[in-house]
Structure 1
Amino acid sequence: MSADRETHHTGDIDMSIWQGRVDPEPDSLRWHQCVRPWQTNATHGAALLGFASDAGVKRNHGRSGASGGPWAIRRALANLAWHRQGPVYDAGTVTCEGDALEQAQQCLAEGVASLLDAGQLPVVLGGGHEVAYGSWQGLAKHLEAQCRQAPKIGIINLDAHFDLRDPAHVRSSGTPFAQIFDQCEARGWSFRYACLGVSRASNTRALFQRAKTLGVLVREDREVTTARLDAIVRDIKRFIARCEHLYLTIDLDALPAAEAPGVSAPAARGVSLALLEPLIEIIRDSGKLRLADIAELNPDYDIDDRTAKIAARLVHQLTLTD
C-alpha cells in the first residue's frame, strides 16, 4: 500500500478537481473557490480526506468500483454553493494498492488522527465501507492521547447492513463494526453502536442476533418513515446523550436504488434522503460530532451522477455550520 497523496504534505495534494462555475454577482462563491489544500497549523475547520479502496468490497463479493468515490464526490461538490463561515481543506487521498487493505486502513487512521490533533473535523470520502475501521482507529488514537478515562464513543451508522460479519473468516467491507467491537473489548471501552436503515432482507438472522447481543440500537428501513420520524429522533437523542464523542458513518446503500444507483449493493427499499437529512442534522448539531465518513459510492454504476450528487450534498450538510 502507498498513499498517493500524503495527508500532511500540501505539495502532494491534487487541487485540479476543484474547478467550476464562477458567478459575477457578489457573495456567490462555490466550493471550488473556497476549498484550500491542507497545511499544518491551519485555522480550525473541516478537512476532506479521501480513501480510495475497493479491497474490502471485493473481499465481500460486492461489485468493485468504489475506489473512484473520493474523486467523484469532490467533482460533484466543487460546483455547490458555498454557505460556510469557516474553512474547508482538502487533505488528499489515501489509496489502497491491490489487496493491501490493512496497510491502507492504518494509513487512513494516521491521517484522521493527525487532522483531529490539529483541531479539524475530518470528513472521509470513501471508498468501500472498510473505510469505517480505518476512520474509527484514527479517532481512537486521537482520543487515547487526549482522554485519561475510557472515552464514550457513539457510532451512528446509516446503512442497509450491520457490517458485523465475523472478521475471523475475512476482514472486508462487511466486518468493520465487528472489528471495532473487538478493539473496544481489548481496550476496555464500551461499544455504543446504532445502525439505522437496516434491511431485514439483506441481513441474516445470525447478524440480527449478534446486533441484539451487542446491544446495538437498530431501526430497520421500514421503520424510518415520516409517521415514525419523531420517535426515531427521540431514539437518536437518547443515544447521543449517553455519548461524549460521535462518529457518523453513512453508507450510501442506505438510500433507495432509485436515488442512489451508484453503490456496491443497491437497496430494493432503502430510506429516502428526505428522511435521512433531519437525522444527520441532529447529529451534526449535537456538539459531539468528531468524525464523519461517506462510503460505497461506486461511480462505475452511477446514473447522471445521482449518487455522487447525494454524497456531495451530505458533505455540504455536514459542514454547513462551524
Structure 2
Amino acid sequence: MGDEGKAAKVPTDQNAQQWSGRVDGSGAQHLRWHQLIAEQESENLSDAVALIGFRSDAGVLRNQGRIGASEGPAALRSALSPMAIHKHRTLVDLGDIVVGGDQLEPGQERLAGAVVQALSSGALPVILGGGHETAYGTGLGLIRHLADDRATRLGILNLDAHFDLRDESRRTSGTPFLDLYQEMQRHDREFHYAVLGISRPGNTAVLFEKAEELGVPYLLDEDCQPEMIWQFVHAFLERIDVLYLTIDLDVLPASVAPGVSAPAGYGVPFERILAVCRQVVASGKLVVADVVELNPRFDIDSRTARSAARLIYEISVG
C-alpha cells in the first residue's frame, strides 16, 4: 500500500504531550496507557489495538453543526493517557489523518486505507473522530478489507441519537450510513445496520421513512431499558458475522456529554451504553470501532472526553 493509505503520524512533540501523565512505577502492575503506548512499536500490529485519529470538521460544517470535532482526537488521547492497564494488550498510536478545509473525500479515502492496513495486520482499529463523517471512511475500509469474502455478513451498530441517513448532494456528518448503503449496493452486499438511542424529535419523518425503507432496526432513546437494549443488540449480532461499532457521543445525555455538535435533551444513560460496549466485545464479533463527535470547545471539565475514554477503554482492554 502506498503512502496515501497510511495515517499521517503526528509530530513527536505533539504526540508526547498527548500521551503523558502520572508515573507510579515501571512494573506491569503500575502501567497506564501513556506508558504502554510510549513503549510499543507501531510496526507490530498483530492483536493490537491500533488508534487512528481523524481530525475533521468538514462533514459537521457541511451539516451546519458546531465545528470543533477536529480537536477531538487530541482530547481523547489526553483522557485515555492516565487510565490504568489491568489486562495487557498491545496499544499503538498510528497518528492522525488530517482533513484540511473542505477536503473531506480525500481524507475519508486515506482513513479507509489506514483501516484496511490495520485490519490486514491483525489489529483492532479504533478511530478517534472527528465528526460522524468519520464513519464513511471506517466502514469503507472494512468493506474493502472483506472485498474477497462475500460470505461474511458485515454489520454496523450505531449508538446515536440520529439515523445519519440523509440524502444529500455530497457527504456530510449526516449522510455516512446512506453513503455506506450505496457502497454496499455497489459491492453486492447486504446492508445490516442498526441504531440504538434514536431521538424522535431529532429525526424528521423522512429519516424514519428511509430507515423503514432500508430495513434498519432502531431503538428509541426512551425505550432504552436494560433488557430491551440487551435483546436488541443480541438480535442484531445474531444476523451478522463481523461488527463495526460506531459511537456518536450525542447518544449520551447532555449532562454527561455536553461537548458534542448536537447535545441530547434526553439521551441514553452512560451505564447502558457501557453495557452495550461490553456486550459486543463479549460476542467476539467486533473488528473495528470509532468514537465520534467529541467537540472539546464545548466540553465542561473534560466531561465528554472522559466519558468517551471510558467507552474506548472497555472496547480495547476492559
Question: What is the match of residue 279 of structure 1?
Answer: 276
Distance 1:5 1:103 in 2: 10
Equivalent of 1:133 in 136, 141, 147:
136
* Contact residue 6 and residue 13 of structure 1 kept, 8 A: no
Question: What is the match of residue 204 of structure 1?
Answer: 204
| Number of residue pairs the alignment of both structures matches | 313
Equivalent of 1:45 in 40, 44, 48:
48
Cα 1:220–1:162 shift into 2, 3 Å: same
Distance 1:142 1:220 in 2: 32
Matches within 5 A, 1:25-40: 27-36=29-38, 39-40=42-43
Percent identity over the alignment is 45
Unmatched 5+ residue regions in structure 2?
A: none
Equivalent of 2:83 in 57, 60, 80:
80
Question: What is the match of residue 215 of structure 2?
Answer: 215
Equivalent of 2:309 in 298, 307, 312:
312
Deviation track 1:34-88 (CA, whole Å, cap 9, x = no partner) reads 1146533444211100000000000000000000000000001001111232111
Distance 2:309 2:51 in 1: 11
Measured after TM superposition, the shift of residue 6 of structure 1 is 4.7
* Contact residue 127 and residue 291 of structure 2 kept, 8 A: yes
Question: What is the match of residue 97 of structure 2?
Answer: 94
* Contact residue 197 and residue 219 of structure 2 kept, 8 A: yes
Unmatched 5+ residue regions in structure 1?
A: none
Measured after TM superposition, the shift of residue 170 of structure 1 is 3.0
State the 4+ residue runs in structure 1 displaced beyond 4 angstroms. 3-6, 8-14
Matches within 5 A, 1:112-151: 112-145=115-148, 147=149, 149-151=150-152
1:258 aligns with 2:255: yes
* Contact residue 198 and residue 218 of structure 1 kept, 8 A: yes
Matches within 5 A, 1:3-14: 6-7=6-7
Per the normalisation by structure 2, the TM-score is 0.94
Cα 1:187–1:150 shift into 2, 3 Å: farther
* Contact residue 181 and residue 191 of structure 2 kept, 8 A: yes
Q: What CA RMSD, in Å, does the superposition of the two structures yield over aligned residues?
A: 2.0
AA aligned to 1:317 is: E
Question: What is the match of residue 66 of structure 1?
Answer: 69
AA aligned to 1:158 is: L
Distance 2:218 2:139 in 1: 20
Measured after TM superposition, the shift of residue 5 of structure 1 is 11
Question: What is the match of residue 291 of structure 1?
Answer: 288
Distance 2:126 2:312 in 1: 8
Cα 1:8–1:304 shift into 2, 3 Å: closer
Question: What is the match of residue 24 of structure 2?
Answer: 23
The secondary structure found in structure 1 opposite 2:262 is coil
* Contact residue 153 and residue 241 of structure 2 kept, 8 A: yes
Distance 2:227 2:220 in 1: 15
AA aligned to 2:257 is: A
